[in-house]
Amino acid sequence: MLSPARNDEVLGGLAGIRAWQEEFCRDLHRHPELSHQEHRTAGLIAERLRGAGLEVHEGVGGTGVVGILRNGDGAGVLLRADIDALPVREATGLPYASEVSGKDAAGNEVPVMHACGHDVHVTCLLGAAQLLAEHTDQWHGTLVTLFQPAEEVGDGARTMVGDGLAGLLPRLDVALAQHVFPIPAGIVGTHSGPFLAAADSMRITVHGRGGHGSMPQATIDPVVLAAMIVIRLQTVVSREVAPTETAVLTVGSVDAGTKSNVIADHAVLQLNIRTYSESTRTAILDAIKRIVTAECQASGSPREPEFELFDRFPVTDNDAETTHRVVDAFTAYFGKRRVDVPMGSASEDFSDIPDALGVPYTYWGFGGIDPDTYAEALRAGRIAQDIPVNHSPAFAPVLQPTLDTGTEALIVGALAWLT
């Protein structure tokens, strides 16, 4: 059973790490790095972990870092933080705002910003590692801290798994991860079951026969074909998904033709699909293929359509037993600061790691918005207008109590197993 006294003992050290955590977080914020390019960040993480006395593995899946602390018999707990930034031009006006630019995967020069709060995640996990390392008399078992690159492009977790992650790790019982959200700083929340959506992007190429805009009878018009597909796809969620399920199917891009009087020979559609279960995911992907193929036949398309899936994220589906254990621990420690956070339609690739390792997991959110600012926006009915969300150029969590809360949550969560 959970002992709040043990939490207090370990977290009594929080005041001692606050100064370096805040400085470290500001430094990371000022020096964001794009997915798969987190070299400076990874170096700083490894240095801190070594300083805290952990066994450190660098270069796992490129820029991933793993720190291991073996402290006798007991459970194995993995805590994960993602470390990459986004191609966003910062507009927070903070004194430590990023002015950095970098080259994206396509070679374009882009502004770079920690617009998703991963700088906060790194700082909290390093703080938790240090406090657990300084208080090994308060727990036993094995702690694994995993710093994952390239969450924003959806393949950092898979890259670490593919690079032999399992071979580095001791036996694990649970994996835990967290994300800072645009809710009041100081609160932490989760729920069991689906927490974040699976995401799939699909590029569909449909073929027609090009020709003169004045002689449609000699062509097969891919613009009309694409239009029929866009309309018919609206029936997938409304007519094929059960009302108790939820899903999103967005056609984000339609591209065909170059000139008003030329009928093009093909069209390209790009779709984004969000689902919360494997069965719905499969059903929707199958329905898209069925509808597109049938519409191509209806138009007399000369070639089969082509389908390409990309930017795929797994569903984050919190294990019930694991989540209850964390919620009990959070309730005992945080009291009223422990809330229920509703299911979101964003996506994460964290679950690729516990799924590959065959361990249960849970994932929670914690607040990053100044509580007074949030309360004011709530009173004025202006949450949507005044509170920036993740990926916005204005999103920057307040350092406190965000860093304290994220560090506390990781330690309280880990200690629920490291008895």
Stretch that binds Zn ion, among 108-116, 226-234, 259-267, 366-374 (CB under 5 A): 108-116
In the region spanning residues 175 to 234, those forming contacts with Zn ion, defined by CB under 5 A, are none
Report, in Å, the least distance between residue 152 CB and Zn ion.
5
State the nearest-atom distance from the C-beta of 29 to Zn ion, in Å: 14
The residue (of 146 and 418) whose beta carbon lies closer to Zn ion is: 146
Compute the CA torsion angle 331, 334, 337, 339 (nearest 10 deg): -30
**Virtual torsion, Cα 125, 131, 137, 143, nearest 10 deg:** 10
Among the residue ranges 116-124, 310-318, 334-342, 368-376, the one whose residues contact Zn ion (CB under 5 A): 116-124
When the beta carbons of 363 and 374 are compared against Zn ion, the nearer one is 363
With contact defined as beta carbons under 8 Å apart, do 183 and 364 qualify?
Answer: no
- Provide the minimum distance between the beta carbon of 300 and Zn ion in the complex, in angstroms, as a whole number: 43
How far is 86 from 98, CA to CA, in rounded Å? 11
Q: Which two tokens stand for residue 418?
A: 């490291």
Q: Identify which range of 37-45, 72-80, 113-121, 289-297 contacts Zn ion by CB under 5 A.
A: 113-121
Cis ω on the peptide bond leading into residue 401 (within 30° of 0)?
yes
Contact criterion met (CB below 8 Å) for 300 and 181: no
Please give the full DSSP string across 197-248, using - where no structure is assigned.
Answer: -EEEEEEEEEE-B-EETT-GGGSB-HHHHHHHHHHHHHHIIIIIS-TTS--E
Size of the site for Zn ion (CB under 5 A): 1
Query: Which of 188, 364, 194, 171 is CA-nearest to residue 279?
Result: 194
Q: How far is the CB of 199 from Zn ion (least distance, A)?
A: 12
Single out the residue of 399, 397, 395, 377 nearest to residue 91, CA to CA: 395
Stretch that binds Zn ion, among 111-119, 260-268, 300-308, 411-419 (CB under 5 A): 111-119
**Residue 153, interface with Zn ion (CB under 5 A)?**
no
Give the residue nearest to Zn ion (CB).
Answer: 116
For 389, residues 6+ apart whose C-beta sits below 8 A from its C-beta are 182, 395
**Shortest Å, Cβ 179 to Zn ion:** 6
Question: Of these, 52, 54, 116, 237, which contacts Zn ion (CB under 5 A)?
Answer: 116
- Residues of this chain that interact with Zn ion (CB under 5 A) are 116
